[in-house]
Structure 1
């Protein structure tokens, strides 16, 4: 097995990035309008900042985190980068990589799940694949790659 460092990104990274950029654009337009309105009226109405915050915070998070969503793995272990942070594991800390199914009312999601040597699990939610009753092939291939890399490093 080829054991060089590999990276796998979620197919949705570009969508999350564009959505975050759109939120930031709307936020800038609204904030500019607020500043103009406050300059003319001479009074700042802070309650008008609520929509700016509601769109601005997710816009910033998605715009700057989306390009790094994914997993990278190599001989030493793996690193997962998700929405609000990143986690790293050495292969000796991972007992198994498997597909977990998160059941929903309309559709289910297949999520790569790490079974840790400590007995816990860690689901890699940003790499999930959604479907309506069938196993997501992309997630299944990713789990097979991760499990093969883990087995080769053992």
Structure 2
């Protein structure tokens, strides 16, 4: 089973730690009910980010693929995936390359947590290598 983590996972984890520190320091000096609002506004994202961030990424092996994103996780067996390709989402300032699973029914499922960003028409090399690795494992699983 191969695992690839999102390069953003560390950043999200650190943001969660900062939010937790803000919530704890606010709670330490809270003396009114109004002080609960910033504690909740920083404490809930802190809890969410510090727990979920280490799980962000993709795991794939002979049985299939499991993706853990910001809000939810998805699992697919290789029989459900027709191919893996690199999709490009154009933006106003930067474009985004990300892995996309083309499912047997014709639908597409993009994996945005694994996106790579660039300013030109070149494909992000990290995303391109990830797509090639996933596709190689998928093709080997179909041959077996």
TM-score (norm 2): 0.91
Which residue of structure 2 lines up, in the alignment, with residue 32 of structure 1?
28
Which residue of structure 1 lines up, in the alignment, with residue 123 of structure 2?
135
2:42 paired residue among 55, 62, 80: 55
The answer to whether the aligner puts 1:144 opposite 2:140 as a matched pair is no
Larger Rg: 1
Aligned equivalents of 1:81 and 1:106: distance in 2?
27
2:9 paired residue among 9, 13, 16: 13
The answer to whether the aligner puts 1:64 opposite 2:39 as a matched pair is no
Q: CA RMSD in A?
A: 1.3
The answer to whether the aligner puts 1:23 opposite 2:10 as a matched pair is no
Q: Hey, which bits of structure 1, 4+ residues long, moved more than 6 A?
A: none
1:61-88: per-residue Cα shift (whole Å, max 9, x none)? Answer: 1111111111111111010111122111
Matches within 5 A, 1:87-98: 87-98=74-85
Q: How many residues align?
A: 141
Q: Shift of residue 16 of structure 1?
A: 1.2
Aligned equivalents of 1:129 and 1:65: distance in 2?
20
The secondary structure found in structure 1 opposite 2:29 is: helix
Q: Which ranges in structure 2 are unaligned for 5 or more consecutive residues?
A: none
Which residue of structure 2 lines up, in the alignment, with residue 108 of structure 1?
95
Matches within 5 A, 1:109-128: 109-128=96-115
Q: Which ranges in structure 1 are unaligned for 5 or more consecutive residues?
A: 39-43
The secondary structure found in structure 2 opposite 1:72 is: strand
1:13-54: per-residue Cα shift (whole Å, max 9, x none)? Answer: 1121111111111111112222xx23xxxxx33xx4333333
